[in-house]
Amino acid sequence: MKRFIGFITKEFYHILRDRRSLFILFGMPIVQVMLFGFAITNEINNVDIAILDHSKDVNTKEIINKIAASKYFSIKGFISHEDEIESTFKKGKIKAVLNFEKDFSKNLVTQKKATVQILTDATDPNTANTISNYVGSILQKYQQELNRGLNIPYQIAPKTRMVFNPELKSVYMFVPGVMTIILMLVSAMMTSISITKEKELGTMEILLVSPLNPFQVIVGKVVPYILLSIINATVIILLSIFVFKMPVQGSLFLLGMESTLFIVNALSLGILISTISSTQQAAMMISLMGLMLPVILLSGFIFPISSMPLPLQMISNIIPAKWFIMILKGIMLKGVGLAYVWKETLILIGMTIFFIGLSVKKYKIRLE
Amino acid sequence: MKKENVIQVENLTKMFGDFTAVKNISFEVGRGEVFGFLGANGAGKTTAMKMLIGISKPTHGKATVAGYDVLTHAEKVKRNIGYMSQRFSLYNDLTIKENIVFFGGIYGLSSSTIKEKSQTLINELGLHDKANSLVGSLPLGWKQKVAFSVALLHNPKIIFLDEPTGGVDPITRRQFWEMIYREASKGVTIFVTTHYMDEAEYCDRVSIMVAGKIEALDTPKNLKGQFQVDSMNKVFLKLARNIE
């Protein structure tokens, strides 16, 4: 046990004295969460829009007031003719124009249906999409207010519907993904680098000549990263709760256990990588290309798996991150318990055992 | 004069697939002996040494080190030997003291022993003002001296040195060999590989490996007599040419 503590102490000296790894370990998670949370969001704030109101009646006025009152939009002008729409967009400031049809109130009363056209500047398709969703939800709310106590409801087109994230907060979607990436990065990449570093410098040989057996050497190298990864997971969860006000609906304990499972999974991948690479550079490249890219592209973090071509959907099944993101979203956003994520959990456990077994086998061969 | 043998090697062979890196080598090394293990790059000396220190398994043959079989009792062998590699064997980002504590620790020395040993070590090497500086900031010659002392921390019976003086200046090499002699006189057996033929002259006995076989094994004096030359360098060249 004393040997073991000595080993871990030494590992911490390595980490704390290497600015680069220290940054990857602690700077990266915070920078990434902040980046995804604040900068790369689908969220919109104070978007400039213009109004083209052909009917100028009670209902359109009320809708305009509601839109002006929301923090997402600020009304930067009224135009009076369709011809002006294009030139308005071309100036670049206005991102959307609301075009109310003629006789809006009248249509609403007589035909029970009125139309408002939402024109968005689609040079930035993501923002455009988000804007129309936001406007849609404001319209829908207004419609509900109007319809209260009415037998035959009024209908204002268009319609949108949002589940689990009624405010469309993109940060809710990003936190599980970012957490997965960071845990993967810290656990797999850092361990594989730190093990290959010993190989590269020749100190691994010295450790193997010592009475420590190879298993102890590996465990000694891995334990510090388990601790650091758990700290990282905690920091990310705290940041998302306190900075982004993201509610964690499910059990924190379950969240912790699942995260630890994923950390061990990533560590075993890291060990596997270190058995097949002999230099730190190689370990880093394999980690980046072999782990980070699939995690970002195929885990469902950014691109929905359901809209991928079938071969990619199949490949995504062998990526541990996919299952972990599903677990995270389940626990954090939907508040489900183990009963709903046991399948994903079992898959992760199975993968972890497979990776550990494989690296033990590889490691033995190397020692021959 | 019958000496106790601490290394005994019989028909040791290592094959990698079809390639035989070490072919049927046999020799023994006595207690307190300085044994030079020479050979060109790729002659198989590192492979042979790795089998003796228990990190590579022999394909055939038998070797006992410090009284234990390397195949069946590798752990016991490891407790009784020290090892210092041509590549640097300490951690550059740890201080001298931290390195001592770490290596003392993995050999299971008690904290008080480690403290005492590190004090002696620092005194002997005259490193008082450097004890808390990172090993990476020391000149190479000093690093090698510290590495040698660290390899001796757990009082091994045999110490294996794999090209310990590579890239070190002549004066430091001289001092390094003085350290080696001091340990040998205490009864520690030294097993050293080297490229420098002048260093071969310092050894009690020398073996020369060519293409996986030991082609010559004797005292430097006898070898020079046998090949009728005046330096180990010439012995080495003559031997290599004869084989080709």
Residues A51, A36 within the same domain: no
Q: Which of B45, B43, B32 is nearest to B85 (CA)?
A: B45
Query: For residue A227, is it within any domain?
Result: yes
At A75, which CATH number?
3.40.1710.10
Query: For residue A162, is it within any domain?
Result: no
Q: Quote the tokens at residue A99.
A: 């075009």
Taking 50 as the pLDDT cut, the residues of chain A under it are: 159-166, 168, 368
Residues B31-85: pLDDT tens digits?
Answer: 999 999 998 888 888 889 989 998 888 999 999 999 999 888 888 899 999 999 8
Taking a C-beta distance cutoff of 8 angstroms, is the pair A15, A25 a contact? yes
Residue of B nearest to A16 (CA): B93
- What Å distances lie between residue B33 and A218, B12, B28, CA to CA? 36, 21, 10
> Smallest CA–CA separation between A73 and chain B, in Å?
55
Q: How far, in Å, CA of A241 to CA of A299, rounded?
A: 23
Q: How far, in Å, CA of A255 to CA of A2, rounded?
A: 32
Query: For residue B21, is it within any domain?
Result: yes
pLDDT of residue B34: 94
Using CB atoms, which residue from B85, B101, B134 is nearest to A206? B85
In chain A, residues with a C-beta closer than 8 Å to the C-beta of B79 are 211
Q: Do A6 and B54 touch (CB under 8 A)?
A: no
In chain B, residues with a C-beta closer than 8 Å to the C-beta of A201 are 87-88, 92
Identity of residue B226: Q
**Residues facing B68 on adjacent strands:** B65
Q: Do B106 and A212 touch (CB under 8 A)?
A: yes
What residues in chain B have their Cβ under 8 A from chain A's Cβ atoms?
A: 53-57, 75, 78-79, 81, 83, 85-94, 98, 101-103, 105-108, 134
Please list the alpha-helical segments (H only) found in B10-157: 45-52, 74-80, 96-106, 111-125, 140-151
Q: Do B89 and A7 touch (CB under 8 A)?
A: no
A173 Cβ neighbours under 8 A, 6+ residues apart: A165
Global confidence as pTM: 0.73
Q: How far, in Å, CA of A287 to CA of A79, rounded?
A: 55
pLDDT of residue B65: 93
State mean pLDDT over B101-115.
90
pLDDT of residue A43: 63
Which of A125, A157, A189 terminates a domain? The answer is A157
Q: What is the mean pLDDT of chain B?
A: 89
State mean pLDDT over B205-229.
90
Residues A33, A79 within the same domain: no
Q: How far, in Å, CA of A129 to CA of A133, rounded?
A: 6
Query: For residue B175, is it within any domain?
Result: yes
Residues A124, A230 within the same domain: no
Q: Quote the tokens at residue A140.
A: 């829908």
Query: For residue B20, is it within any domain?
Result: yes
Q: Do B78 and A210 touch (CB under 8 A)?
A: yes
> Smallest CA–CA separation between A281 and chain B, in Å?
19
Identity of residue A319: I
Please provide the DSSP assignment of A109-138 as one string. HHTSEEEEEEEE-TTSHHHHHHHHHHHHHH
> Smallest CA–CA separation between A212 and chain B, in Å?
7
At B59, which CATH number?
3.40.50.300
- What Å distances lie between residue A170 and A130, A216, A328, B46, B175, CA to CA? 10, 43, 15, 58, 67
Q: How far, in Å, CA of B215 to CA of A5, rounded?
A: 47
Query: For residue A342, is it within any domain?
Result: yes
In chain A, residues with a C-beta closer than 8 Å to the C-beta of B78 are 209-211
Residues A177, A285 within the same domain: yes
Using CB atoms, which residue from B91, B98, B105 is nearest to A3? B105
Q: How far, in Å, CA of A32 to CA of A145, rounded?
A: 41
A-B Cβ pairs (cutoff 8 Å, strict):
71
Query: For residue B110, is it within any domain?
Result: no
Residues A79, A146 within the same domain: yes
In the numeric block, the tokens 């509900």 are attached to A144
In chain B, residues with a C-beta closer than 8 Å to the C-beta of A368 are 56-57
Query: For residue B150, is it within any domain?
Result: no
Residues A187, A310 within the same domain: yes
> Smallest CA–CA separation between B221 and chain A, in Å?
33
Q: How far, in Å, CA of B37 to CA of A191, rounded?
A: 36
Residue of A nearest to B110 (CA): A2
Query: For residue A300, is it within any domain?
Result: yes
Query: For residue B11, is it within any domain?
Result: yes
The answer to whether A365 faces chain B, any CB pair under 8 Å, is no
Q: How confident is the model at residue B207 (pLDDT cuts 50, 70, 90)?
A: very high
Residues A60, A197 within the same domain: no
Terminal Cα distance for chain B, rounded:
37
Which of A157, A191, A224 terminates a domain? The answer is A157
- What Å distances lie between residue A214 and A167, B13, B171, B197, CA to CA? 52, 24, 38, 36
Using CB atoms, which residue from A201, A210, A367 is nearest to B106? A210
Query: For residue A209, is it within any domain?
Result: yes
State mean pLDDT over B14-31.
91
Q: Do B93 and A17 touch (CB under 8 A)?
A: yes
Q: Do A202 and B78 touch (CB under 8 A)?
A: no
pLDDT of residue B191: 95
In chain B, residues with a C-beta closer than 8 Å to the C-beta of A207 are 106
Taking a C-beta distance cutoff of 8 angstroms, is the pair A128, A83 a contact? no
Q: How far, in Å, CA of B68 to CA of B56, rounded?
A: 15
Taking a C-beta distance cutoff of 8 angstroms, is the pair A368, B16 a contact? no
State mean pLDDT over B167-195.
90
Mutate one of B50, B106, B113, B162 to test the A interface: name it (highest A CB count within 10 A): B106
- Please report the beta strands in chain A, taking only residues with DSSP state E, as ranges in sequence order: 47-53, 73-79, 96-100, 113-120, 155-157
Number of domains in chain B: 1
Identity of residue A2: K
Residues A297, A206 within the same domain: yes
Query: For residue A163, is it within any domain?
Result: no
pLDDT of residue A207: 87
Range of the domain at B13: 5-84+157-243
In the numeric block, the tokens 């094959």 are attached to B15
Number of domains in chain A: 2
Cβ burial A289-325 (10 Å sphere, 16+ → b, else e): eebbebbbbbbbbeeebeebeeeeeeebeebbbbbbb
- Say whether pLDDT at B87 is over 60: yes
The answer to whether A367 faces chain B, any CB pair under 8 Å, is yes
Residues A230, A350 within the same domain: yes
Residue of A nearest to B90 (CA): A203
> Smallest CA–CA separation between B2 and chain A, in Å?
30
Q: What are phi and psi of A73, to 5 degrees?
A: -125, 150
Range of the domain at A196: 2-40+169-367
Q: Do B105 and A207 touch (CB under 8 A)?
A: no
pLDDT of residue A42: 57
Round the CA-based radius of gyration of chain A to a whole number and report it: 27
Q: Do B78 and A18 touch (CB under 8 A)?
A: no
pLDDT of residue A82: 82
Residues A208, A299 within the same domain: yes
Residues A153, A240 within the same domain: no
Residues A101, A200 within the same domain: no
Our CA dihedral for B51, B107, B189, B16, rounded to 10 degrees, sits at: 10
Q: Do B55 and A209 touch (CB under 8 A)?
A: yes
pLDDT of residue A160: 38
Which of A137, A157, A177 terminates a domain? The answer is A157
> Smallest CA–CA separation between B219 and chain A, in Å?
29
Identity of residue B221: K
Query: For residue A143, is it within any domain?
Result: yes
Query: For residue A210, is it within any domain?
Result: yes
